[in-house]
Chains A and B, each alone.
Chain A
């Protein structure tokens, strides 16, 4: 594994290996000094062409807890404002000696392009509506930590699937790990074609609610909506929001998840986020550990040797 661009490019075994590796970093993050020297001397750059607080800070925290150096690039304070192209930006930064770029861009596919302009590892931190692989790993890890495995579990992904890179990555990860996924959304918030998606589709949240292990609410991405896709937010909430009443109808062990940031009162009621089975803050906490696993896997000791199915510490016990 040289880059992490999309879940589709990973084998099931590689996904599981990353989740297993995450266990080690969860333990590291519980220590009084949650920092290990594994990536000393490596430089990780967060290259964010689109606003983000949690993903960027989560990646930077992960890099620092591995003792890597971090550089932050955000469009507002950079030469992009002077008209510098993405390619020039990447090549300039690469010249400083960068080991990994974490890229976020509002256009799909930008991380793939960046991969061809640099020798550094590239991690997709979200590209347009396309992919957000670390979020999918976080969600898979969170579900796995509650149920032991995703095998045979039923997950509903509810809401604005059309504009959601989280939904695309989650579908790929959850089904790869053996879960059944049902997309629940009005037709206007689904992609025009679902050909090739290994999912069931429903337009009726109440009908699937009783049968779920995980109810995953997506954020209504009003900033990406250029047309009126739902009559009104209130009507959307009435049909597809996880209201307190609907949360009551979920099984006691069924998890309530959301990738954040939440529109409270729109896709999820404030009461629903306070339930004991709501694991939204757990998702955020797992974010740092998962991203540590990804960075360690890409830059850590032995990654250059690419013999991970045959790994070991060597003869100096």
Chain B
């Protein structure tokens, strides 16, 4: 769970109260390693592949995947960062301000872009990210990597690489970090 999510969760704020720990730090590391291998396998190497992390939770995960890919393949990918605040469709439903500047240091035209985020929930962030990416060019393909897929999709979007499938209730929250993954609630 990104920091902004913690602060912006309905009804706009509260404290994350962890209930169960579903992944330990070592589990997260293993999942990152596996996803890196899957990205390589799926794309037959790293030719033409670029990583883009979604602000703010997806960026550290994208960096971790890049580090892992560098260890396996010896190629250090640059990690793009994308903030989708201007592309969201929930105008008026919740406050949205951008957190971090978007920075995509490569041309997306004709590349295979792996979008990386920490948690996949309704899919609306990914929808916004696809729109945003379209303004930078026309990628040959866009793939999606997430640490946790928690279900409750509201759009026809599915991930290509998943750290863990985690069944949740709608009102639960998932917190992802390098130290592990926790399931809990927001408490006012």
Which A residues are within 8 Å of any B CB, using their own CB?
Answer: 21, 23-24, 27-28, 31-33, 35-38, 66, 296, 300-305, 307-308, 310-317
Contact = CB atoms under 8 A, between A and B. Distances in A.
Nearest to A315: B9
Contacts of B103: 27
Interface string B69-112: 00000000000000111111011111111110111000000000
A24 B4 CA distance: 16
A317 B95 contact: no
Given A21-B97, A301-B95, A317 B86 contact: no
B181 to A, nearest CB: 13
B161 interface: no
26 contacts: A21-B97, A24-B83, A24-B85, A24-B98, A32-B137, A36-B87, A37-B131, A38-B86, A302-B94, A310-B8, A311-B4, A311-B95, A311-B97, A312-B4, A312-B5, A313-B5, A313-B8, A313-B125, A314-B8, A314-B90, A314-B93, A314-B94, A315-B10, A316-B122, A317-B5, A317-B118
B1 interface: yes
Contacts of B124: 316
B65 to A, nearest CB: 17
A30 to B, nearest CB: 10
Contacts of A316: 121-125, 154
A310 B13 contact: yes
Given A305-B92, A307-B13, 18 more contacts: A28-B86, A37-B131, A301-B91, A305-B94, A307-B12, A308-B95, A308-B97, A311-B96, A312-B4, A312-B5, A313-B8, A314-B90, A315-B8, A315-B9, A316-B123, A317-B57, A317-B118, A317-B121
Which 5 pairs between the two chains have the least Cβ-Cβ distance?
Answer: A312-B8, A302-B95, A36-B86, A316-B122, A312-B4
Contact of B12 (A33, A36, A37, A310): A310
Contacts of B10: 314-315
A21 B117 CA distance: 23
Contacts of B34: none
Contacts of B99: 313
Contacts of B136: 31-33
B2 interface: yes
Nearest to A304: B92
Interface string B134-166: 011100000000000000001000000000000
Contacts of B120: 317
B135 A310 contact: no
B173 interface: yes
Contacts of A307: 12-13, 95
Nearest to B176: A317
A36 B135 contact: yes
B119 interface: yes
A305 B95 contact: yes
B30 interface: no
A38 B128 CA distance: 11
B42 interface: no
Nearest to B97: A311
Contacts of A21: 97-98
Contacts of A23: 101
B8 A317 contact: no
Contact of B101 (A24, A301, A308): A24
A302 B119 contact: no
Given A310-B13, A311-B97, A317 B119 contact: yes
Contacts of A296: 86
Contacts of B121: 315-317
A308 B7 CA distance: 11
